[in-house]
Amino acid sequence: MPSFIPSTPQVIAQNVTELIGHTDLLRINSLSEITGCEILLKCEQQNPGGSIKDRAALQMVNDAIAANKLRSGMTIIEGTAGNTGIGLALIAKAYGFKMLAVMPKGQAKDKEKMIALHGAQLMLVDACPFADPNHFYHTAKRLAQENTNYWWADQFENMSNFKAHYSTTAVEIWQQTQGKIDALVSVAGTGGTIAGNSCYLSQQNPKLQTWLVDPYGSGIYAYLKTGKYQATGSSFTEGIGIMRSVENFRQAKINKAISLPDQDLVTISRELSQLDGILLGSSSALNVAGALYAAAKMGSGNTIVTFCCDLAERSYDKLYNSKFLIDRKIDTDHESLTSMYTRYQHEPQSAVVNVYQ
């Protein structure tokens, strides 16, 4: 008879929020072999809400409860591209709060559905520039000001977001790599991920290089290069890219910045699916393209860590939609990983912004 008694004692989580964090670190074999680097993926889609934003959501809620800002009977409100809304919605249910997510129209339908399935109220507003008072961020802020019973999470300015990554994600990466990490590569939305991780990891290893990878259409790359937020092109990625300075991003210890086109993240998504059995969402595919770029410029022998930010199915409507890609003149069979790597090796150094802080 096979024995079903586990060799190590099982720890039973007492609440769904206890499942947040402690995600796996996965070697991307295809890229590691081509580059001679160890390219590692922190599997944040394993969080119960399916994204890295569960960590920020949990820390923001826990800190607000501890500070008596969020009390029994109150409603959590947040403006969100979706993933933070899903994280907050599941935490709200687990803790017994109500939740209202204000989302711009045009984000993945899966994210809208998940927020509703977690029992949160969803308010969809027209997508518009930040300067417009009807922008989802301003709408959430205004509703919170008008209702004393609402607590606004404010993920862009709330430093609990940074703290979540500084005190959990980065510590896990340091332990999982046993301190062997030469570079960290990350996209930025609020900047909580890149800031919290780069601060903690560069304190452990002052030689660590942090690479910011920005999609076309976001202004961070231009800001780091010229001091001004200017967008070039437009990307279909969701939840990343920003056109203004926010508190979480300001903490980031960035050494290098690059900007990559959607074509590259599409190529990476198809290649990793074929070669490694890894399905990525669009911001995650951009992260992995950034890791390949960093490897091309840093040379072999380095350990490079990046993030799988959310579940691939949240990118089904765009990244995995052939018609959508054809309309954008993006090719699903554009080049191999090897030719992409060679192209990145030959890209002029001037394409990489050296950030001195």
Ligand X SMILES: Cc1ncc(COP(=O)(O)O)c(C=O)c1O
Query: Could you tell me if 306 and 201 are in contact, meaning their C-beta atoms sit under 8 angstroms apart?
Result: no
112, 154, 264, 310: which one binds ligand X (CB under 6 A): 310
Cα gap 355→252, rounded to integer Å? 11
Q: Is 46 in the site for ligand X (CB under 6 A)?
A: no
Cα gap 163→39, rounded to integer Å? 25
E strands of the chain, at which residues?
25-27, 38-43, 75-79, 98-104, 121-125, 150-152, 183-186, 209-215, 256-260, 303-308, 353-354
Q: Is 198 in the site for ligand X (CB under 6 A)?
A: no
Task: Tell me whether residue 92 or residue 103 sits nearer to ligand X (CB atom).
Answer: 103
49, 79, 192, 219: which one binds ligand X (CB under 6 A): 192
Per CB under 6 A, which of residues 239..258 are in contact with ligand X? 239-240
Task: Tell me whether residue 24 or residue 331 sits nearer to ligand X (CB atom).
Answer: 24
Task: Tell me whether residue 239 or residue 290 sits nearer to ligand X (CB atom).
Answer: 239
Task: Tell me whether residue 22 or residue 180 sits nearer to ligand X (CB atom).
Answer: 22
Instruction: Determine the interface stretch with ligand X among 60-68, 90-98, 189-197, 328-336 (rule: CB under 6 A).
Output: 189-197
User: Which residue's entry shows tokens 């949990």?
Assistant: 58
Radius of gyration of the chain (CA): 20
CA distances from 95 to 76, 161, 315 (A): 11, 19, 29
Query: Could you tell me if 58 and 87 are in contact, meaning their C-beta atoms sit under 8 angstroms apart?
Result: yes
Q: Is 170 in the site for ligand X (CB under 6 A)?
A: no
Query: Could you tell me if 283 and 309 are in contact, meaning their C-beta atoms sit under 8 angstroms apart?
Result: yes
User: 339: exposed, middle or buried (C-beta count within 10 Å: 0-12, 13-18, 19+)?
Assistant: exposed
**Partner residues linked to 125 by β-bridges:** 104
Cα gap 280→265, rounded to integer Å? 9
Per CB under 6 A, which of residues 279..308 are in contact with ligand X? 281, 283
Q: Is 309 in the site for ligand X (CB under 6 A)?
A: yes
Residue facing ligand X at closest CB distance:
239
- In whole angstroms, the minimum distance from the beta carbon of 281 to ligand X comes to 6
- In whole angstroms, the minimum distance from the beta carbon of 8 to ligand X comes to 32
Catalytic residues: 53
Instruction: Determine the interface stretch with ligand X among 81-89, 117-125, 129-137, 272-280 (rule: CB under 6 A).
Output: 81-89
84, 198, 218, 263: which one binds ligand X (CB under 6 A): 84
Task: Tell me whether residue 62 or residue 342 sits nearer to ligand X (CB atom).
Answer: 62
- In whole angstroms, the minimum distance from the beta carbon of 336 to ligand X comes to 26
Residue numbers at the binding site for ligand X (CB under 6 A): 51, 53, 81, 83-84, 187-193, 239-240, 281, 283, 309-310
